[in-house]
Structure 1
Amino acid sequence: MTTAVCEDIATLGPEPTPSTEDGCEDCLREGTRWVHLRLCLTCGHVGCCDSSPLKHAWAHANHTGHPIVRSFEPGENWRWCYAHRAYV
C-alpha cells in the first residue's frame, strides 16, 4: 500500500473521540447493517465503509467536507482521503 501527498493531512488536529464504539452510528440509528467501520479524523464520526450497503463514511465526508478517515477496525491503522482518493 503506497501513500500519497495530501494537503488535507495538514488540517488535522489530534485524533477526535469516536462518536460510538458500537458500530456505524448511522446504521445503528437506522437499523441497517455495515461491513467495516471508518473514523472521521476531523470530527470522530464513525461510519461504514464503501463495501457496506449505505456507505455512511463516504456520505459523511461528502456532506461535511471532512476528507480523511482511518480504518476503525481492530489491528488496522491506515488512512484514506476521499478528496484525493488515496491512502495518506
Structure 2
Amino acid sequence: MSENNGIDPTAAPSGAGCADCEATGGWWFHLRRCAACGHVGCCDSSPGQHATAHFEAAGHPLVQSYEPGEDWFWDYATDELYERGPELAPPVSHPQDQPAPGPAGRVPADWAGALHR
C-alpha cells in the first residue's frame, strides 16, 4: 500500500455503526471504515454488504476494520489484505460495548442464517 492511495488520515468515521444500515433500520455483522472519507459500512458477510457498495459507488478502494482490536486494511480494487497502514483519525473502532452483530435490538434471533458466506 503506497502512502497516498486516496487515504485521508484526517477523515473522521461517519458514526458508530453502518451508515446505510442505520438509515434503513438494518443490522450488521462486522464493520469496515473507508480510509478515504470515513464512511462506515458493513462487511460482506452482513446482509447489506454496504462497505463494498460504498467502494462500487464512490470508488474508494481501501477500508480498515472498524472492530475493536483490529487495525488491518483491505483493498477492494486488488483484493489484498494489509496488516498495517496509516493511523486514521479517532475513534478507530465502534464502541467496545456495541455488540457484533449489531446494533442491539435490531439483530434477528436467526441472524447467523442471514449471513453471506
TM-score w.r.t. length of structure 2: 0.65
1:62 aligns with 2:59: no
Sequence identity (%): 51
- Corresponding letter in the other structure for 2:18: C
Q: Please, which runs of 5 or more residues in structure 1 have no aligned partner? A: 1-5
Query: Quick check: 2:8–2:37 contact (8 Å CA) kept in 1?
Result: no
Partner of 2:20: 26
Where is the helix percentage greater, Structure 1 or Structure 2? 1
- Corresponding letter in the other structure for 1:13: D
Q: Please, which runs of 5 or more residues in structure 2 have no aligned partner? A: 83-117
1:87 aligns with 2:45: no
Query: Quick check: 1:15–1:41 contact (8 Å CA) kept in 2?
Result: no
CA-atom RMSD in angstroms: 1.3
- Corresponding letter in the other structure for 1:19: S
Q: CA deviation at 1:10?
A: 2.5
Residues 17, 73 of structure 1: alpha-carbon distance in 2 compared, 3 angstrom cutoff:
same
Q: Secondary structure at the match of 1:10?
A: coil
Partner of 2:114: none
Q: CA deviation at 1:65?
A: 0.3
Partner of 1:41: 35
